[in-house]
Structure 1
Amino acid sequence: MTITEIKKAALLNFTEKGYDGASLSDIAQEVGIKKQSIYSHFKSKDELFLTVMEEVINEETKFLHQYFSHYQPDLKNYLEDFILKLKERYTNNKECNMKFILRMAYMPPVHLREEVILNFKLYFSELEKLLNKLFFNTETFSKKAERATLSFMTILDGLLVALIYGGIERFNQKFRVSWEIYWSGLLND
């Protein structure tokens, strides 16, 4: 159970403080163990970080697959709901996977940058594949599935940045305006 507690405390610390601000001492203290005890499970802070990152990406990829396996016929509302679910996952204080993903995807630890970016590209590529399949299998968008997917990802990127740097109010403001414009443009393309 200690290893699970260590990873949970590490996730929280990396999310709140970033890689550089998180310390093994703080993580150990939160778990109620000595810092040296962490080394019986992980060789280094890097190994702990990469383990947490891999688990978070796996959990969030699983969420993507679960969400997209329950397609609803109203594509506009289905995709709108997806964006709002991501916002909810980001703002949920018990679950900080999305906060971790977005913080580390946009501001990875410098010395682990390549490995981190590669892993997050895999996550976002998986999302693109699922979206592309969804659009391709929808009669209205089958011939423009790639364009619909890329434009959706562009809107999503902007909304996630607004969520990170502007907060919920800014996200909501941008979402209300951009979603209708996106959808109208998609239908009239």
Structure 2
Amino acid sequence: MSASNIKHAALIQFAQNGYDGTSLATIANDVGIKKQSIYAHFKGKDELYLSILEDVIMDERRYIQDYVSSQTTLPIHDRLYQFLAEYSERCETHASSKFLLRNGFLPPSHLHELMMQKVYNYLDDIEQLFLQYLEKQQTFFTVPLEEVVISFIGLIDSLQIELLYSGTDRFQRRLHASWNIFWRGISAFKEE
């Protein structure tokens, strides 16, 4: 049994049940091995969890890079909205997105500091990706580009919280209302 098979089963369990709700015995059972066999690849649950976190962050970063580089034909309004709108679907269909959503907001307490350092580095990277992406559109916005990006990341966080705690219907409701205010603010607001 390979480490990648163990990590795949663990990713699904951690995404669905969180750190505390996932046992090594359950992961081993999903893979079809004995629990002790996991220790041939990982020192324990923490190492397995943190290894998956690294993979998830790389996967999510790659998804966003691919998204911003491939969505060049849609108007900027539609591109940004589509990115937000697709997030709930991505969390339902991609274990890495679901893992990051659940565990980014509800990390295990004993790994909190280490995990949040990795999550904050990821968020800083995402902020830079969107800054680079939106630089070409900078003349369109009526507020500084950095504020546009920080606000957009804040909107993402708000929508993720709604998705995590309330589900898809409330996510959609918050998306529509928040998007309209956000878009009006960055495209029409003028400082006096």
Q: Tell me the TM-score normalized by structure 2.
A: 0.92
Fraction of identical pairs, as percent: 37
- Write out per-residue CA displacement over residues 35-68 of structure 1, whole angstroms, 9 at most, x where no aligned residue: 0100001111111111111111111111111111
Partner Cα separation in structure 2 for residue 135 and residue 68 of structure 1: 9
Partner Cα separation in structure 2 for residue 87 and residue 127 of structure 1: 18
Runs ≥4 residues deviating over 3 A: none
Partner Cα separation in structure 2 for residue 81 and residue 181 of structure 1: 16
- Write out per-residue CA displacement over residues 17-37 of structure 1, whole angstroms, 9 at most, x where no aligned residue: 211121111100110000010
Aligned-pair CA distance for 1:142? 8.3
Higher relative contact order (Cα pairs below 8 Å, separated by 6+ residues):
2
Partner Cα separation in structure 2 for residue 128 and residue 153 of structure 1: 7
**50-59 or 143-152: which moved more?**
143-152
Partner Cα separation in structure 2 for residue 123 and residue 96 of structure 1: 17
Aligned-pair CA distance for 1:143? 6.3
Aligned-pair CA distance for 1:135? 2.5
Q: 1:96 maps to what in 2?
A: 95
Contact 1:24 1:45 in 2 (8 A): yes
Q: 1:187 maps to what in 2?
A: 187
Q: 2:77 maps to what in 1?
A: 76
Q: Which amino acid in structure 2 is aligned with residue 50 of structure 1?
A: L
Partner Cα separation in structure 2 for residue 2 and residue 32 of structure 1: 12
- RMSD value, Cα: 1.5
Partner Cα separation in structure 2 for residue 11 and residue 52 of structure 1: 6
Contact 2:6 2:28 in 1 (8 A): yes
Q: Which amino acid in structure 1 is aligned with residue 51 of structure 2?
A: T
Which runs of 5 or more residues in structure 1 are unaligned? none
Q: 1:174 maps to what in 2?
A: 174
SS at match of 2:42: coil
Which runs of 5 or more residues in structure 2 are unaligned? none
Partner Cα separation in structure 1 for residue 65 and residue 134 of structure 2: 15
Contact 1:12 1:96 in 2 (8 A): yes
Aligned-pair CA distance for 1:71? 3.8
Matches for 1:3-152 after TM superposition, within 5 Å:
3-72=3-72, 73-92=74-93, 95-138=94-137, 139-141=139-141, 144-152=144-152
Aligned-pair CA distance for 1:177? 1.2
